[in-house]
Amino acid sequence: MRYLCLLYVAEDTAPAPGTPESDEVRGANVAATGAMARAGVLVDSAPLHPVRSATTLRVREGETLLTDGPFAELKEQLGGYYLLECADLDEALRWAATIPAARSGSVEVRPVMKVEGRT
């Protein structure tokens, strides 16, 4: 079964790029991603650009409405994802616990619905 791990972090508390703290976080992410890949559970993963680059789209009564920024003001923002192929939720949770965002923010783990006719 596939599980989507959504990484939520407070962007304003993230270490500045190029600092030892930032390098440590990047290294921890590389290590976690590598371990998942070697175990064969990693389907895909990627960080997202900062939330200020987001555009929220809504269609209401046939009209498309665009808003700069995220849908809602939150303390933590969606910062990236991992898509994992695991035997069960327990295995997905064990892997999610290795993601550095779990130590500074949170990782939401959700099963992905299988849609008939898709691989």
Confidence of residue 37 (pLDDT cuts 50, 70, 90): very high
Tell me, yes or no, whether 39 lies in a domain.
yes
pLDDT tens digits along 54-101: 888 889 999 999 988 766 666 788 899 999 999 999 999 999 999 999
Place of tokens 């990627």: 46
Confidence of residue 119 (pLDDT cuts 50, 70, 90): low
Tell me, yes or no, whether 37 lies in a domain.
yes
Residue 85: give the domain boundaries: 2-111
Tell me, yes or no, whether 93 lies in a domain.
yes
Number of structural domains (the chain) is 1
Which two three-digit tokens encode residue 113?
A: 């619905």
Residues 58 and 76: their CA atoms lie apart, in Å, by 22
Tell me, yes or no, whether 19 lies in a domain.
yes
For the chain, give the mean pLDDT.
91
Which two three-digit tokens encode residue 54?
A: 């987001």
- DSSP tag of 98: T
Tell me, yes or no, whether 80 lies in a domain.
yes
Tell me, yes or no, whether 119 lies in a domain.
no
- DSSP tag of 76: S
Tell me, yes or no, whether 88 lies in a domain.
yes
For 99, phi then psi, to 5°, come to -80, 125
pLDDT tens digits along 91-104: 999 999 999 999 98
pLDDT at residue 51, rounded to an integer:
85
Tell me, yes or no, whether 117 lies in a domain.
no
78, 93 contact by CB (below 8 A): no
pLDDT at residue 1, rounded to an integer:
96
State the greatest distance between any 2 C-alpha atoms of the chain, in Å, as a whole number.
Answer: 50
| CATH number reported for the structural domain that contains residue 27 in this entry | 3.30.70.1060
